[in-house]
Amino acid sequence: MTDSKKQPGSSEKLWGGRFAEKTAASVEDFTASIQYDSRLYKYDIAGSRAHAAMLASQGILSRDELEAIDSGLVEIGREIEAGTFRFKAELEDIHMNIEKALVDRIGPAGAKLHSGRSRNDQIALDFKLYLRDQCDLLMELLKGVNRGFVRLARGYLGAVMPGYTHMQRAQPVLVSHHMLAYFEMFSRDHSRLEDCRRRLNLSPLGCAAMAGTGLPIDREQVAENLGFDGVTANSMDSSGDRDFAIEFTSCCAMIQLHLSRLSEELVLWSSQEFSFVEISDKFCTGSSIMPQKKNPDIPELIRGKSGRVVGSLMSLLTLVKGLPLTYNRDLQEDKEPVFDVVDTVSASLSIMAELLENLEFNTATMEEATKTGFITATDLADYLVLKDVPFREAHGIVGRAVAYCLDKGCELEDLSVDELTRFSDVIAKDVFEVLSVRGSVDSRISTGGTARVRVEEAVAQAEKQLGIAQ
């Protein structure tokens, strides 16, 4: 058939009215997204049901048409859940698969469903509904991990360990204080997701392709029906907006980075060089050739998975960086990285919560590690400051005392008062109260410090925040 004889409307697509030829099979394969966006089915159905209810209230659909659409969508949803619905790649995505199935089942009424909307705002709606649920899921998983930190903090109150800077022993801290540091990290992650959820919870439906619609729709009714806080303000922005997906993925990347930092410490602490922690055999694996090995594979894998989560964030940032307003087909590439992030971060949080319940700290080893490395040197400097010695001068005094200890092969607390007074005549017998590890810890009474009194307050506050009965 020559071009002059091709008839418009010969395409089988729901959008194919102006097309005279069928889409090439290679194009269908390349443009299809149903293989991954089918997970949005329940959100697509929920959005369509809310949209249909609004169209009926506006007189665009009859009551009979609404009932046919609603029952048809419910039936399709049941079939998808049961695994009996057949998705067709030639229909491209979840939206077209559901709409075509609906039209095939109920006839012309199904074809009216798309009145007043476009796939552009429909996609944005489904994606927002999905991510809203994922925010809720991840926030619950974060609470589970934080409960683990708080249980450990309560269980190991009083146990001491070295705190590190530059991976060098720096100052003694309570093990509980260290656990609560992670509690703070993951609490910020929870807060970021709350903010993300609040910002994304505006409905884009009714913005249509990019300019709105001339039909008498009620966007606010649909938004309220679906639990949104309101509607988006600008149709052009709404059509091409993926800020909400990028922000969500950024929140997830931060969560995974925090998990990775924790995992790094667990890997180090479980090594023979540290022996600070013992991870249950249930959460470790062995070697295929070295029978003595007990490998911390779970934290290693969590640490490794941070790369794919950060990579997904970079993918989204790169995806939108050069896109003009409004919708562009490039945006089809937004979902796979987000879906992968959801799967990766939720799995990592779940397994970490279990792992925290299956480890024990070697408190004797940790306390022994605080007895070397001049870990109370800062306490000696603070002691001198309280004796009216300027801090910079005190710093130099302590530095010379440490050098003396290095030559002698001992720690600061091993020196006698006579030896210490060589470096400053303000030093007296009371100095040994601050040179002990326990004395050092108990002296850190500033807000947020590691003194037991402060840590006990912090544990109680964390338990209250999480609803843990004391």
3-state DSSP assignment of residue 20 = coil
Closest by alpha carbon to 189, among 254, 131, 128? 254
Catalytic residue IDs: 166, 287
Let me know how long the chain is.
470
Closest by alpha carbon to 138, among 185, 190, 187, 182? 190
Closest by alpha carbon to 135, among 342, 310, 311, 306? 342
Sequence-ordered list of residues with C-beta below 8 angstroms from that of 145, at least 6 positions apart, any chain: 186, 349, 352, 353, 356
Count the Cβ atoms, other than its own, within 10 Å of residue 227. Answer: 12
